[in-house]
């Protein structure tokens, strides 16, 4: 299975995301912001960092990158897409996910190992987790506060589209303690914490993050076996 | 040369911690009586010819402001700098 990781100018965590993909047992495929070719990938990850310097708003300029036009079309056709941190911001700016991510309530950049509760396992990226289970995954963001209007929040909650929530302290003032959400179909997930930084005992606080990458691999393998 | 000026502000219901931090610093200047401070962006667009308002509107709507969290206003400003 081929999982693409996009590099934008200013991406930081593309290397870690590709490493996580390969540790999970999939083939990691580098994708380039200025090239619309998705190189026959089965899923795409938009990594963390500061695409285009975060100028104007986080993710606002990346949304118009040539590769994003292909990803928006592929996401509409059901391809699994995971946006991590800056990737989550890009997915919101591209209207693949509702709401927006704004400056942390306390204005501080927050880096810490964060407890999360997995709220939805009905996405290709979280199908390997147990609903309600708690995981430890690092957060590192300055603009990670999820906001949406009350009708959208109600909709996310009632449809079970909150994928993960902060527990034991909200690091940024995110509404409803939201750490991750999914689109209506479930194939597009945005998450503020960094699962790719929790894939090895040597470098991470846990290996809980690996579950996102093994989940999508299992999902793709099952889909491949069916077709 | 005429330019189009776009002002982008966070919607009133969106918390602006940056503005709050500035408001909280004002007493240190000896300023009192300020109810609130909100921070936005001003963007100046200069066209090669006459300003194209329709195009400026589209730039503001699609790129300069995120309608989920921000409002914008747009106006033409005349005269030299």
Domain coverage including residue B21: 3-77
The answer to whether A57 contacts B66, with C-beta atoms less than 8 Å apart, is yes
pLDDT at residue number A227: 57
A202 near B CB under 8 A: no
- Compute the distance between CA of residue A129 and CA of residue A114 in angstroms, rounded to an integer: 17
Cβ–Cβ of B15/A93 closer than 8 Å?
no
pLDDT digits (tens, 9 = 90+) for A36-87: 999 999 999 999 999 999 999 999 999 999 999 999 999 999 999 999 999 9
Per-residue pLDDT tens over the stretch A15-45: 999 999 999 999 999 999 999 999 999 999 9
Q: What is the CATH number of the domain that holds B27?
A: 3.30.1280.10
pLDDT digits (tens, 9 = 90+) for B30-47: 999 999 999 999 999 998
8 Å CB contact of A56 and B63: yes
* A219 assigned to active site: no
Measured between CA atoms, how close is B31 to chain A, in angstroms? 23
Helix, coil or strand: residue B34: coil
Please provide the average confidence, as pLDDT, over all residues in chain A: 97
pLDDT band for position B79 (cuts 50, 70, 90): low
With 90 as the cut, is the pLDDT of residue A224 above it?
no
- What is the token pair recorded at A94? 């591209």
What local confidence, expressed as pLDDT, does residue B49 receive?
Answer: 86
Q: Over 80: is that where the pLDDT of A218 sits?
A: yes
A123-172, pLDDT tens digit by residue? Answer: 999 999 999 999 999 999 999 999 999 999 999 999 999 999 999 999 99
Dihedral of alpha carbons B49, B54, B59, B64, sign: positive
Q: Which domains does chain A have, with CATH numbers?
A: 2-226 (3.40.50.880)
Give CA–CA dist B35/B26, Å, rounded: 11
Q: Say if A110 is an interface residue toward chain B (CB within 8 Å).
A: no
Residues A186, A216: Cα–Cα separation, whole Å: 12
Q: Is the dihedral of CA A124, A128, A133, A137 positive or negative?
A: negative
Closest CA to A100 of A114, A115, A117, A83: A83
Annotation says A196 is catalytic: yes
Query: What percentage of chain A has pLDDT greater than the value 90?
Result: 98
Complex confidence, ipTM: 0.85
- Give the chain B residue whose CA is nearest to the CA of A55: B64
A194 as an active site residue: the answer is yes
Residue B52's pLDDT is 87
Is A209 in a helix, a strand, or coil?
coil
CB contact under 8 A, A100 and B66: yes
Report CA Rg, chain B: 16
Q: Are A107 and B21 inside 8 Å of each other by CB?
A: yes
CB pairs under 8 A between A and B: 33
Per-residue DSSP letter, A130: P
- Gap from A134 CA to chain B (nearest CA, Å): 29
> Active-site residue among A85, A92, A93, A219?
A85
Contact A107, B18 (CB under 8 A): yes
User: Are A106 and B17 a contacting pair at CB < 8 A?
Assistant: yes
Q: What is the pTM of this model?
A: 0.94
DSSP letter at A11?
B
Number of structural domains found in chain B: 1
Residue A183 touches partner B, C-beta closer than 8 Å: no
């Amino acid at each position: 299975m081929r999982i693409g990781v996009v590099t934008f100018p200013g991406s930081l965590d593309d290397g870690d995301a590709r490493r996580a993909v390969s540790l999970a047992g999939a083939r990691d495929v580098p994708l380039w912001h200025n090239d619309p070719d998705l190189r026959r990938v089965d899923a795409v990850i938009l990594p963390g960092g500061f695409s285009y310097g975060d100028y104007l708003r986080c993710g606002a300029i990346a949304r118009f990158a040539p590769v994003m036009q292909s990803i928006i079309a592929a996401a509409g056709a059901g391809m699994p897409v995971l946006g991590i941190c800056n990737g989550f911001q890009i997915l919101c700016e591209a209207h693949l996910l509702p709401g927006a991510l704004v400056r942390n309530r306390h204005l501080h950049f927050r880096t810490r190992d964060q407890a999360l509760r997995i709220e939805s396992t009905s996405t290709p990226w979280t199908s390997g987790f147990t609903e309600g289970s708690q995981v430890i995954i690092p957060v590192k963001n300055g603009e990670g506060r999820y906001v949406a209007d009350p009708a959208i929040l109600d909709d996310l909650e009632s449809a079970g589209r909150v994928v993960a929530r902060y527990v034991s302290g909200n690091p940024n003032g995110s509404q409803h303690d939201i750490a991750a959400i999914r689109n209506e179909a479930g194939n597009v997930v945005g998450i503020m914490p960094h699962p790719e930084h929790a894939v090895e005992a040597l470098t991470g606080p846990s290996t809980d993050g690996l579950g996102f990458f093994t989940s999508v691999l299992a999902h793709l393998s099952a889909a491949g076996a069916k077709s | 040369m005429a330019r189009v000026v776009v002002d982008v502000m966070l919607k009133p219901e969106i918390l602006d911690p940056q503005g709050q931090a500035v408001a909280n610093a004002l007493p240190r200047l000896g300023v009192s009586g300020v109810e609130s401070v909100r921070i936005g962006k001003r963007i100046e667009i200069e066209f090669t010819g006459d300003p194209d308002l329709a195009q400026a509107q589209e730039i503001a709507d699609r790129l300069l402001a995120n309608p989920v969290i921000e409002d914008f206003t747009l106006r033409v400003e005349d005269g030299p700098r």
